[in-house]
Structures are given as structure tokens and as C-alpha cells.
Amino acid sequence: MPAITRLKLLKDLHSNAFTFQRGIEREALRVSKAGQISQVGHPESLGSALTHKSITTDYSESLMEFITGVHSDKGRLLNELDALHRFSFSHLDDEWLWSGSMPSLLPAQEEIPIAQYGNSHIGRLKTIYRHGLWHRYGRKMQTIAGVHYNWSLSEEFWRQWALVNHKTGDLTEFKTNEYFGLIRNFRRHSWLLLYLFGASPAADSSFLDHSSADLTPLGEQSLYAPYATSLRMSDLGYSNKAQANLFVCFNSLESYAETLSNAIQTPYSAYEQMGLMAQGEYQQLNTSVLQIENEYYSDIRPKRVAYSGEKPLHALRYRGVEYIEVRCLDINPLLPLGIDEGQIDFVDLFLLWCLVQDSPEISTLECQQVQRNSERVALNGRDPNLTIRHGGRDQLLPALAQTLMESIAEFAVTIDKKTGTDCYQKACQQQQDKIDDVRLTPSHQVLAQITEQSSYLNFSLKQSAQFAAHFSQPLAPEQVAFWQRETAASVGRQRDIEANDSGTFDDFLAEYLRQ
């Protein structure tokens, strides 16, 4: 169905359909006040990293992750994220949270602590998976932080959207197909988000163990690319030879599940040589291209809440797509939470715009072009002469960004009329300003401040100190009590899981991987 027709159908929906459900996962490294990565375990006073619903760790033991609930009100979303930061800061012993996406001053690889999740079968699986990431990618890559944005449309939207599209019966398949259409368009155009919100143009020189042709020295102990928007999303971030030629097809749930499953089942010679075990300990979960589906580092993922011990891909296959996870957003080190309301508004609008546009299937060739576009914008997005591939030809990024923004801005007028607001037009104007003047992009502003402070380390420490002061303001007593109860409950849940495990870990792992 042509995009113009789909847009007309969108106008036929009642205003109560336009409710966006959002959740944020924000990662942040714990560091000393000198900017060194923490060597201290996850604070016991913050509960169990395995079972706490909102405060956990990601790849490194030092990489905290704050996970909000699902909110249709963006103010409440940001308030919860703020509360998680304040509660956590009150339990950090003389440490700060690093302000940016690229990590702090790093030691040798082996001195970066890998996340620990206890002695249960599922806890051991999570830690072994991270050991596999260490052997495949190095530990330093496990210190990169980002903002993951979880997003879905309300059941009322899907009911009305199916009705105007003349779809009847169970909504599960319809929703799944529509979400995959959104994902394909997102992948085609996500380079725009890298330009608008990329905020990691430089890194501490300790991040690399070798020289890079893409980076040059900047001031004291820093490396940068002059026109970079997001080193985190470049080849310097999560990448290796095994994934370089991996094609995951987003044309349908079945093609997505099949290609990911194949990667999990296809042996990779380098990983086979590494071996599954060493001295009686697991080095990785398997010797395939991917250990599990989460190892595929896409800029967006279809998601479904999984049951305990259930693989995400299994949950998707049997119950369909529930929401999507945007993974290409840097932490903005100029903002205490790394994200603000204006960015939320634009990402909401962008995702809905992706849903409504035509979304033909992506060929293997286009998939490669999409990936190259993202890589080029990540490393050189502010270069006024940068071209990217679109519509079968190379186009200058500023001109193409302007064309896309005009379409999105027109779309914003429609959504604002439906919702009785002007926030989406305002969000578009904020982003239009960045296209008109590259100096307004976060990557340019961050780079300017790094230059002024003589190094990425100095700049990030200054921001981290400011944010520590910001989050030192105490929570209301009832909020403190709420998070204290969740913290205690998480410890109990981990204890119960460990007490109720049965059988051997080897059998558990084999059954998990068989799903």
C-alpha cells in the first residue's frame, strides 16, 4: 500500500490511538573520581544484578544499567529514570557514574571486571556469555555505554489500524508484520539519528590497544575523528570479522528467526580453535558465529518479554513482536540522564513515520548499503561533502537529511493535530536547526568542549562531577522506601532461583540452546 494511502488511513484514526508506550535502559560506568573504571563489585546495597527489575549490570561488572518501567507519559518516564539514578548514587561508595558512551580511563583488558550473576544456572549462563564476548571482542568493548529506547504502540492503535487496513482476526500476526516494516525503514534511515544525536566523537586513548587509521590524536591522551558523530556505532564499537559478513533478514519474523538461528548454529573456525572449555571452565556458550541472538549488534531489535529461562528468539517466534528496541542512541554527556524530552518526542515521531512509509523487503545488497551508510555517518557524519547511498545513487548527506526532515516535519503537523499538542513540530524544529547548522549537533558541541578541556578524560570528569552533584539531591522518603523494598526482594528472588535449580549446568545449557 503506498505511503500516501497509509498516511491517509492514519488520519482516520481517533486521537485516543496515538499513545506511545516507552521504556528506557540507560547504561553508565562506575568510575573513581580520577576517572578509572571501578574494580569494586556491584554494590550489595543495590540488590541482585540478576533479579532486580530496574538496577542491574550489563557486560562489565562496572557497567550499571537502569531500566525503567513502561510509560505513556514521558514526564513520568524521565522521573523514574531520574529516581533510579538518585537512589543508586546514594549507595555508591566514593564513585561517580561516567557521563558519556565511550569509556573512562581503562586498564589492561584482563583488569576489566566481567559481570557476575551468582551461582544459579541462569546466572552462570549470563556470565559465561560475557566471557565469550571477552574472548571474541575483548573486554574493553564491554565498557561502552548507550541508551536503549523501548517503544510500542497501544492496543487501541493496533485495533484501529487493523480496522482501517481491513485486517480481521487475531492481531498478533498483523502487529508483527507492521513492526517488521517499521524496522526495515528504521534501518534505511537510522543514519539520520546518528547525525542528530550522536555524541561520541572522541575516546580516551586507553580504549585502543593498537593504532587506528580512522582516529588521530587530540590533545592529551585522546583520540578522535574530526567529523565523527558516534564512535560507539562505528567499527570501533561492537564489531568483529565473524559479524562483518553476517546477513540477518528483517523481511519477516520467520526470515529473521531463521537467519539468526543459522548464525547461532553455524560453527566459526576461530571460535572452534578457541575451544568451548579450558581447564574445566566454559570459555563461551558455543563455538558458532553467535552464542545467542543478543550477540547480534543491530541498531534496532524486535522484542518480546521472555519467560524465565526462555530464549528471546523463542519468545518472538511463538508469541510475536511486542515492542521494538532502538539501540543506536548515544548517551548525551551534556545531559544528566543522557536523554531529554525533546529527543524522546523526535524518536517517537521518527518511529511512527517509519511505520507509515512504504517498506519493501531489504535485499542482501541493500542490507550491505544500509550498514555502510551507518558506518560512514558514524565516522564522518558532519563532513559537508559526505555522500551516502539512497534510492540507488549516492547523495550528499545534508541534502538528503533535509528531504527526510521535510517529510517528517509534515508528518509532525498531522500527529500534533491528532494529539492536540505542538511538541512534535517543536521537536522537528530542534532537529532542523542541527541540519541547518552542524555546530548545534551534540557531537560538535561535545568535541568543542573536549578540545577546550584538553582531553576526553578531563571533559568527562567535569561532566561526571556535575551530574554527581545533581543526583545528590535526596529522593522523597516514600521513593526511598519503594526502592529499598525492591532491592531486598531482588536478593530473595536470586536466593530462591539458586535454591530451586535442579540437574547439572551442562544439561541446563544444552536445553537452553536447543530452544
Work out the average pLDDT over 432-440: 98
Return the C-alpha cell found at 155. Answer: 492496543
Model confidence at 237: pLDDT above 80: no
Residue with cell 493535530: 417
| Residue reference for cell 484514526 | 13
For the chain, the average pLDDT equals 94
Question: pLDDT tens, 256-287?
Answer: 999 999 999 999 999 999 999 999 999 999 99
pLDDT at 11 over 80: yes
C-alpha cell at 196: 542528530
User: Is there a contact between 498 and 118 (Cβ–Cβ < 8 Å)?
Assistant: yes
Contact between 197 and 343 under an 8 Å Cβ cutoff? The reply is: yes
* Per-residue model confidence (pLDDT) at position 257: 93
pLDDT at 308: 80
Q: Which three cell numbers stand for residue 500?
A: 530451586
- CATH code: domain of residue 371: 3.30.590.20
- Give the per-residue pLDDT at 250: 93
d(CA 176, CA 156): 16
The grid coordinates listed for 92 are 555508591
Residue 309: its pLDDT value, please? 79
The string of pLDDT tens digits covering residues 400-423 is: 999 999 999 999 999 999 999 999
Closest CA to 380 of 315, 334, 438: 438
The SS3 of residue 186 is helix
245 Cβ contact list (under 8 Å, min separation 6): none
Full residue range of the structural domain in which residue 498 is found: 3-514
462-465 contact pairs (CB < 8 A, 24+): 463/99, 463/100, 463/333, 463/334, 464/31, 464/35, 464/96, 464/97, 464/98, 464/99, 465/33, 465/96
List, in order, residues 6 or more apart from 367 with CB less than 8 Å away: 187, 247, 249
| 283's grid cell | 570459555
- With beta carbons less than 8 A apart as the criterion, state whether 440 and 433 touch: yes
SS3 for 326? strand
Global pTM value: 0.96
Instruction: Specify the DSSP element, H or E, that contains 466.
Output: helix 456-471
Domain count, the chain: 1
Give 211 or 192, the one with higher predicted confidence: 192
Q: How confident is the model at residue 4 (pLDDT cuts 50, 70, 90)?
A: low
Give per-residue pLDDT as tens, 178-209: 999 999 999 999 999 999 999 999 999 999 98
Q: So what's the pLDDT on residue 209? A: 85
Task: List, in order, residues 6 or more apart from 74 with CB less than 8 Å away.
Answer: 22, 341, 344, 345
Average pLDDT rounded to a whole number, residues 32-36: 96
Under 8 Å between Cβ of 289 and 263: yes
Please write the tens of the pLDDT for every residue from 448-468.
999 999 999 999 999 999 999
Band of pLDDT at residue 220, cut at 50, 70 and 90: confident
Residues 213-219: contacts with CB under 8 Å, at least 24 apart: 214/379, 218/450, 218/451, 218/455, 218/456, 219/450, 219/451, 219/454, 219/455
From CA 15, how far away is CA 400, in angstroms rounded?
31
* Predicted confidence (pLDDT) at residue 499 exceeds the cutoff of 80: yes
> What are the tens digits of pLDDT across the range 85-141?
999 999 998 999 999 999 999 999 999 999 999 999 999 999 999 999 999 999 999
